[in-house]
Structure 1
Amino acid sequence: MKKIVLTLLFVAFSATAFAGEELILYNWSSYMPREVLDQFTEETGIKVTEVTYDSNEAMYAKIKMVEDHGYDLIVPSTDFVIRMRDQGLLQELDKSRLPNMKNLNPRFVDQDFDKGNRYSVPYFWGSSGIAVNSAFIPVDKVSSIKDLLKSEYKGRILLLNDVRGVFAIALKVNGYSVNDRDPEHIKKAYEFLVKLMPSVKVFDSDSPKQAMLSNEVLIGQLWNGEAFVANSENPAIRYVYPKEGYSLWMDHFSIPRGAKNVENAHKFINFVLRPDVGAKIAKELGYSSPNSEAVKLLPEKMRNNPISYPDDETLSRGEFEVGLGNATKIYEKYWMKLKTGAN
């Protein structure tokens, strides 16, 4: 009996010791440079295992399913921070462990959706715009969302596999907010997307730039970071902010309910908030950093690149995505109909 007890104690101790040396990061695909994870391990001794997803919906479903085990740190967008917080799926952060939050631009903290940043810390912000391969299509031919309906683009368009991003263009083309909750307006947006479907070759949020770089599609709805990298590899790929307006988004670090390595999650967030680390990530990924001190370390050419950091006039036409409340179910219903072709 004593031997069994000692064995159980040893197993429990080993599990605890191992848990203290690791971090399970559940993150968007291609959204954290491997060298940054390796640097964190080198500096702290904490091994990072990264598991990836391609949509907020996939992440949300998995977190609900795993409940009290599985992941230590996730990267939800604003509307999912709200949803998951309200459903008790997130832990409150310990700000005393995050001194590097002082480096964040004040415009991106203490927002109405999470006052005091109790459950979220900004990681990146950006836009969803339209990328055009100007080697095949003059960029001035695609200045409006309506231009996507032109017959010559049939079968040559990519849309993000992201309900908010896709519905944002359909709402904006009809003059509505990207956060509209009116069922009739959402239905009208869906009807626009149905008209657009014959032109859509693929939905992709995993690495949408690849279809642009391979010329599989000539026009793609891309996040600005993907467009930045694509433009760096092929300058003919240009990024357009539609004249009707476009959606702005912000992704955040949050600690899910049931995380086992909470201290390590805080250490990682604080590490990423260091100016040198934040600049390294922003330089590689091309997304817009909310870290003021990190932005100062970026090359001037990047700080002035309108794909990552649009001017005030362009920025004024963008609208940040926030929570949709009960209207979420309406969006999900039409999204499923759109993707399956159901009537």
Structure 2
Amino acid sequence: MKKILLALAMVLFYCVPTYAGSGELYLYIWSEYIPDEVVENFTKETGIKVHMSNYDSNEAMYTKVKLAGEGYDLIVPSSDYVSLMRRQGLLLPLDKKQLSNFAYLAPKFTNQSFDPENTYSIPYMWGSTSIAVNTALLGNDTVNSIADLWKPELKGKLLLPNEPREVFALALKLLGYPLNETDPAHIEEAYQKLKTLIPSVRVFDSDSPKQALLAGEIAVGVVFNGEAFIANQENPDIKYVYPPEGYNLWVDSLCIPKGAKNVEEAHAFLNYLLRPDVATIISTEMGYSTPNDAAMKLIPKEVRNNPIVYPSNEVIERGEFQDYLGDSMKLYDEYWVKLKTD
């Protein structure tokens, strides 16, 4: 019996990979953005323990990573922040030799302008920021466009994301400008328009806005599509509107910050997340769209055909992806502070 136990122990020892780092991984990610089972299964397969911290905005993540310099092995910035952090030397280049599952990604999500050849980033999920409406409180015809957000019956009943780019996108698209606008006069015009919307705003929340929707604390929320998906699953009266003026599309990517201590573990987790079966679980549970081409064949039909998660090509054409704004972002930040404090 002792020989059998010893042999089993030896098998288990050789089956668990060893890593140059600590055997631990420090993940800094958006709130409610990865299923617990995915993290737990990764630890079971590799022995790597994942320590997870959350943020509710790109600004919060960027500021902490830039000031701290270390403490995290993986972060999940949106495309414009990938570009910013890449330009500022805040990211480590990836070792593609350790990412054999990279080939499963759809070509349309790789080699993008914000990170040519994916030198620093791996697309994690993509989605939209648009309008979720509780039709039980407002009916089906009250809010179907960005312009409808200014209706008087929404006073004190509106939730906006705690993200300047997401909020300014509303006014910019309403005014007929691109959401990647850099003209100072147009940005100021958007700010003036948003000032008139503030009386309707009950709360700014990018952390878990579905909670306010489900509790009936608000009637309308400008939210990420995954939040709308989960809210709709619990309450079918909550519908997700893609406004005729246009809306915001985004891609969130996984990156290794320059101060990472456990780089080999980070690559192991990246390659694990790129597996089609894992990507399927993430998209199905979180309600966001996967860039993993192979996973699309595995995703249940009810999710794959749900327009909240996977909008039609016609709807996608009305959307616009965020891009890097360079020095213009300072102006957005200045107006954002005034918008929330004046």
**Which interval holds the TM-score relative to the shorter structure?**
over 0.9
- Please give the residue correspondences for 1:191-206 in structure 2 after superposition, counting only pairs within 5 Å: 191-206=192-207
User: 2:5: which partner in 1?
Assistant: none
Work out the CA distance in 1 between the residues paired with 2:86 and 2:116.
12
1:190 aligns with 2:180: no
User: How far does residue 138 in structure 1 lie from its aligned partner after superposition?
Assistant: 2.0
User: 2:332: which partner in 1?
Assistant: 331
RMSD: 1.2
Work out the CA distance in 2 between the residues paired with 1:17 and 1:59.
27
Secondary structure of residue in 1 paired with 2:114: helix
Work out the CA distance in 2 between the residues paired with 1:130 and 1:272.
29
Work out the CA distance in 2 between the residues paired with 1:231 and 1:252.
26
User: 1:250: which partner in 2?
Assistant: 251
Secondary structure of residue in 1 paired with 2:44: helix
CA deviation vs aligned residue, 1:227-254 (integer Å, no higher than 9, x gap): 0000001000000001100010010000
User: 2:105: which partner in 1?
Assistant: 104
Secondary structure of residue in 2 paired with 1:231: helix
1:91 maps to amino acid: L
Secondary structure of residue in 1 paired with 2:194: helix
User: 2:273: which partner in 1?
Assistant: 272
User: How far does residue 139 in structure 1 lie from its aligned partner after superposition?
Assistant: 2.6
1:148 maps to amino acid: L
The answer (yes or no) to whether the contact 2:20–2:264 under 8 Å persists in 1 is no
Work out the CA distance in 1 between the residues paired with 2:22 and 2:113.
34
Secondary structure of residue in 2 paired with 1:139: coil
User: 2:129: which partner in 1?
Assistant: 128
Q: Which runs of 5+ in 1 are unaligned?
A: 1-15
**TM-score normalised by length of structure 2:** 0.93
User: 1:84: which partner in 2?
Assistant: 85
User: 2:314: which partner in 1?
Assistant: 313
Work out the CA distance in 2 between the residues paired with 1:335 and 1:139.
31
1:146 aligns with 2:117: no
User: 1:226: which partner in 2?
Assistant: 227
User: How far does residue 120 in structure 1 lie from its aligned partner after superposition?
Assistant: 0.6
User: How far does residue 140 in structure 1 lie from its aligned partner after superposition?
Assistant: 2.8
User: 1:9: which partner in 2?
Assistant: none
Q: Count how many residue pairs are aligned between Structure 1 and Structure 2.
A: 325
2:60 maps to amino acid: A
User: How far does residue 65 in structure 1 lie from its aligned partner after superposition?
Assistant: 1.1
Work out the CA distance in 1 between the residues paired with 2:251 and 2:164.
15
User: 1:25: which partner in 2?
Assistant: 27
**TM-score normalised by length of structure 1:** 0.93
CA deviation vs aligned residue, 1:166-213 (integer Å, no higher than 9, x gap): 111111000000100000111111111100000000000110110000
1:155 maps to amino acid: G
2:252 maps to amino acid: D
Tell me whether 16-25 or 148-157 shows the greater mean CA deviation: 16-25
Work out the CA distance in 2 between the residues paired with 1:154 and 1:89.
42
The answer (yes or no) to whether the contact 2:195–2:339 under 8 Å persists in 1 is yes
2:269 maps to amino acid: F
CA deviation vs aligned residue, 1:12-36 (integer Å, no higher than 9, x gap): xxxx989421000000111111111
**Segments of 4+ in structure 1 off by > 3 A?**
16-19
Work out the CA distance in 2 between the residues paired with 1:269 and 1:211.
33
The answer (yes or no) to whether the contact 2:19–2:264 under 8 Å persists in 1 is no
User: 1:63: which partner in 2?
Assistant: 65
Secondary structure of residue in 1 paired with 2:115: helix
CA deviation vs aligned residue, 1:126-163 (integer Å, no higher than 9, x gap): 00110000111123321211111111110000001111
Work out the CA distance in 2 between the residues paired with 1:284 and 1:64.
31
Work out the CA distance in 2 between the residues paired with 1:255 and 1:144.
38
User: 2:37: which partner in 1?
Assistant: 35
Work out the CA distance in 1 between the residues paired with 2:155 and 2:19.
57
Q: Give the 3 Å change call, closer, same or farther, for CA 266–17 of structure 1 in structure 2.
A: closer
Secondary structure of residue in 2 paired with 1:35: helix
Aligned pair partner of 2:50 in 32, 48, 51:
48
User: How far does residue 281 in structure 1 lie from its aligned partner after superposition?
Assistant: 0.8
Work out the CA distance in 2 between the residues paired with 1:208 and 1:252.
22
